[in-house]
């Protein structure tokens, strides 16, 4: 099954806040457009890949997407950035893009994975099985902010503040 057939979806899907679709062989999530109040989504052990289509889910704060086929971390995370802006809890364990001791990844790869994800999802407070610490967030921003903003963009962000301070004197 690629997605959930319409006839199997509940009539009151617009009020559903929690949805567990573990082990359903899903690879398409576009049907979630009918769940505007969804807050928690568990889609472990499916066939979700990096290019999965996810509708905008403004209320969603938790996704468990463990044991899937996500191989390209940046593609998948950018989808979450745009489509799930309130995301606070994300678990991606046992996906090729989430290196760990259990799937052959080194400690350095694991730390880099965490830093990248944390740098892209500013509201994230839990990644996989570990809380995001203040130190980890600061290091993630130090490493990845230069890659996401050009020097000119960083300067233009700072300029209005300094001009305001200068004009208020």
Residue 132 is assigned to a structural domain of this protein: yes
CB 145 within 8 A of CB 135: no
pLDDT of res. 166: 47
Q: Output the domain CATH number for residue 109.
A: 3.80.10.10
pLDDT classification of 163: cutoffs 50, 70, 90: very low
Mean pLDDT, rounded, of the chain = 86
Query: Domain residues for 44?
Result: 6-167
Domains in the chain: how many in total?
A: 1
pLDDT in tens, 102-156: 788 899 999 999 999 999 999 999 999 999 999 999 999 999 976 555 544 545 5
pLDDT of res. 2: 58
Residue 38 is assigned to a structural domain of this protein: yes
Residue 27 is assigned to a structural domain of this protein: yes
pTM above 0.85, yes or no: no
Whether the pLDDT of residue 159 is over 70: the answer is: no
pLDDT of res. 7: 59
Residue 52 is assigned to a structural domain of this protein: yes
Residue 1 is assigned to a structural domain of this protein: no
pLDDT of res. 1: 53
52 or 166: which leads in pLDDT: 52
């Amino acid at each position: 099954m690629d997605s959930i057939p319409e006839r199997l979806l509940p009539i009151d899907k617009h009020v559903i806040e929690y949805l567990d679709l573990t082990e359903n062989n899903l690879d398409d999530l576009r049907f979630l457009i009918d769940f505007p109040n969804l807050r928690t989504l568990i889609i472990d052990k499916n066939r979700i890949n990096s290019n999965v289509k996810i509708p905008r889910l403004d209320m969603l704060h938790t996704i468990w997407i463990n044991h899937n086929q996500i191989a390209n971390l940046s593609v998948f995370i950018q989808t979450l950035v745009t489509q799930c802006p309130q995301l606070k809890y994300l678990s991606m364990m046992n996906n090729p893009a989430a290196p760990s001791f259990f799937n052959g990844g080194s400690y350095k790869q694991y730390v880099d994975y965490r830093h990248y994800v944390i740098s892209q999802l500013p509201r994230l407070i839990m990644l996989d099985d570990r809380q995001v610490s203040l130190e980890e967030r600061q290091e993630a921003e130090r490493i990845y902010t230069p890659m996401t903003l050009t020097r000119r963009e960083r300067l233009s962000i700072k300029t209005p503040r300094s001009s305001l301070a200068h004009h208020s004197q």
